Amino acid sequence: MQFIAPGIIFILLILAFYSIFVEPRRLVVRELDIYVKDLDARLSGVRICHLSDLHFFKHAANPALLKGIRSRASDLYVITGDFVHSHAGLSALEELLAVLKAPVFAVPGNGEYKIPVSSGELYSLLKKHNVQMLLNKSLNIAVKGAPVCVIGVDDPFTQRDNLCQAMQGAGSHGFCLLLAHSPDVIGDPCADSVDLILAGHTHGGQLRPPLWGAVWDHTRLRLGVVDGLFSPQSLSQKTGRKICKTQLFVNRGMGGRAVRARFLCPPEVVFITLRQAGV
């Protein structure tokens, strides 16, 4: 019995070391097929690279992230908020943006309202690299000749979003993609008319012990949408509304701000391929 307590302490120290120094650096490049109802055939096979919660604070970007992005061609890039949390991070962000070779769309996160970097500095850098920052607005574009509406809202976690305003002018036909920092946006019934929502903010819960799941549900609504893909049926159960077609994907993100430790929840960059449902 005298060895049990020291043994437990030793195991906890090993787990703490792994969570703080190992897993946060173990980037996962994730491939995900999402099947969309009534998707235009021209969009089947379109790839979207989804980045979130970069939280750059050093001068250089993660080499594994740059390598992962260069290894796969994408038709669209989207960044769902929390870009940097220091001036040094702007250099890393610029290094990342330089390797994105297709249209880039982005929305701000709650972190953009807490960092020492001014919004003017950040937005100037994004504009320099032709990033379309969507602050409660939408853009109608064509991808492979097919109509696509990209909608972006300001941060839902801090209740700066206005989805109904953002959807004004949105095309009534074609694939509809909604970008939001926090999955709290699913609480807005206006979201029920979009095909796919891409979000982040939760960091996947960061710590996910076996048989327990996400320790940290960093959302306002506490609907349990912390990590991964959620079907219309799942979202209907969680929201209490009948949701017919909308799917939600929550990215685990790249970094962290106050707490960077991760356990069974490695950082990720996600490549989403659109597929026709039922084909």
- The beta strand positions in 173-256, using DSSP E, are 175-179, 196-199, 228-230, 247-250
Q: Which of 8-22, 82-96, 243-257 has the lowest mean pLDDT?
A: 8-22
DSSP annotation of 17: H
Mind listing the pLDDT tens digit for each residue in 114-126? 878 888 899 999 9
Structure confidence at residue 258 (pLDDT):
60
- Which phi-psi region, left, alpha or beta, contains residue 201 (left: φ > 0; alpha: ψ -120 to 50)? left
Q: Structural domain tally of the chain?
A: 1
CB 179 within 8 A of CB 151: yes
Mind listing the pLDDT tens digit for each residue in 44-61? 999 999 999 999 988 888
Q: What confidence category does residue 217 fall into, taking pLDDT thresholds of 50, 70 and 90? A: confident
CB 43 within 8 A of CB 76: no
Q: Which of 52-61, 175-184, 190-199 has the lowest mean pLDDT?
A: 52-61
Range of the domain at 185: 4-276
Tell me the whole-structure pTM to 2 decimals: 0.94
Q: Please state the length of the chain.
A: 279
The candidate with the shortest Cα–Cα distance to 255, out of 63, 27, 17, 48, is: 27
Task: Give the other-Cβ count within 10 Å of 176's Cβ.
Answer: 24
| Side chain identity at residue 40, one-letter code | D
3-state secondary structure of 95: helix
Residue 49 sits in a domain of what CATH number? Answer: 3.60.21
Task: Report in angstroms the alpha-carbon separations of 220 from 58, 156, 201, 223.
Answer: 30, 9, 11, 9
Task: Report in angstroms the alpha-carbon separations of 210 from 77, 190, 232, 239.
Answer: 33, 36, 27, 26
Distance of CA 1 to the CA centre of its chain: 47
Sheet holding 196-199, edge to edge: 137-143, 146-152, 175-179, 196-199, 247-250, 228-230
The candidate with the shortest Cα–Cα distance to 137, out of 165, 109, 110, 113, is: 165
